[in-house]
Amino acid sequence: MSKICTCLREFLSLLEEEDQLIRIKEEVNPEPDIGAAGRAAANTPEKPAIFFEKIKGYKTPVVTNVHGSWQSHALMLGMDKNTPVKEQFLELNRRWDKYPVEPEIIERSDAPCKEHTITENINLFELMALYRINEQDGGFFLSKAAVVTGDPEFPDDLNKLNVGTYRIQVKDKDKVGIQALAFHDIAIQLEKAERKNEPLPIAIALGNAPLVTFMASTPIAYDQSEYAFAGALQNGTPVQIVKADTCSHLYVPASSEIILEGYIIPRVRQVEGPFGEFPGSYSGCRKQCEIKITHVTHRTNPIFENLYLGIPWTEIDYLMALNTSIPLFKQLKESMPEVVAVNAMYTHGMGVIISTKCRYGGYGKGVAFRLLSTPHGMPYSKVVIVVDEYVDPFNLEQVMWALTTRVRPDKDVTVIPNCPGMPLDPSSVPAGMHSKLIIDATTPVAPEPNPREVELLKPPAGTDKWEAIIRNYFNC
């Protein structure tokens, strides 16, 4: 286990050392070059981060695809870059139990994100090299921010300080739109503020430590701290945070490249979108909240980090893969200890594969029902496959074996109509409503009848020894 990087710049240096980052020194056009490079990086076997040093018309650099491979994902965790996905899952699960590792609050003078301050004539178009990620986007989007808001009723409760990832559209030099859907934590806080027709203070952190970004896009409970979880996932190293300049109860990552501070304008909705979203399609336009930016701080020569979204897999799929799987696994394991692993890597958990030991007949379906009642599984998860405990849910070849040898379509496939759905899912009609599909690919246990008992093949003796010999051969 190597050192874990606690700021973006340190992580970019590590990626470069590990041949996971390419520097583009020649001047490029913001469009279509940056978006095209993000798509191209996802298409290559190496899937490197791309650092653009010179953007035509802008003064600051851009980096994309920072989380866009399993190699980079492993390096984020301080593991060898060739660590298998299941081992990364197990390591994240181990660190998850270190929660909480409370953040370290530092002085403003010690926070790199406070090196420069802008309070007048704020112009986001001068601060960052803005560009459309996909051709038909309705404008310039910030796709990788950590958005910080507090609960208006409990402003001093750090456990209710929300640090989330939401898409943000630049509307003007000091105004942005944000998508805050009803099942997002920020919507709870916004409703409380708008009930009193009060603005909701907000801070938007760009260019964050890799595990802070990871946690900002992780579905956890409303009263759990993303900062305390990030410290746990940093293997016990606390996240350094600093008080926001314009709101005393908001705290931002101290090492961020750029901090935008302001407030959500109460009871105002303006058209936002379209935007190329994580299901691999454009979202269309909706009326969304707007934010007035009143204050900016940034590091010297700030790096603008953004991610590309496209038909999977792209960076967002790697970023949201295991941080969706682990919370769902933990929530299932609490009441169903037979659950072995959860693979919710597909389209932010719209597709989920669960491996479990079945305690009694019908248990596989019961596990699926429990998943569909979790805070994330209820709106997002649509296709749930349940397999036996000896099937690796991260190995699609084994999953397909289970589907083709364990499923009787007449009894093991269930469709549940009229359920909550993800509005960005293009098959959700109307947007936000869907049916759910459960496929029980587990072996029947009593009292469920199983008229055809079968004995599983076991690996020949000595298989482990030969696996080690073969691995060593290729690692020489």
Q: Look at residues 347, 341, 369 and name the one whose alpha carbon lies nearest to residue 436.
A: 369
CA distance 311 to 323: 20
Can you tell me the distance from the alpha carbon of 35 to that of 14, in angstroms, rounded to the nearest whole number? 23
Close Cβ partners of 358 (under 8 Å, ≥ 6 residues apart): 338, 364, 388, 442, 443, 445
Residue from 91, 277, 305, 315 carrying the catalytic annotation: 277
Residue 239 tokens, joined:
């996240």
Q: CA 425, 428, 429, 433 torsion: positive or negative?
A: negative
153 given a catalytic annotation:
no
Which residue type is seen at 327?
A: P
**Whether the bond into 32 is cis, omega within 30 of 0:** yes
Which position has the token pair 């246990």? 445
Q: Partners of 271 in the beta sheet?
A: 287
Task: State the DSSP code for 313.
Answer: S
Tokens matching residue 292:
């007035």
Q: Which position has the token pair 């919507």?
A: 187
Which positions are catalytic? 277
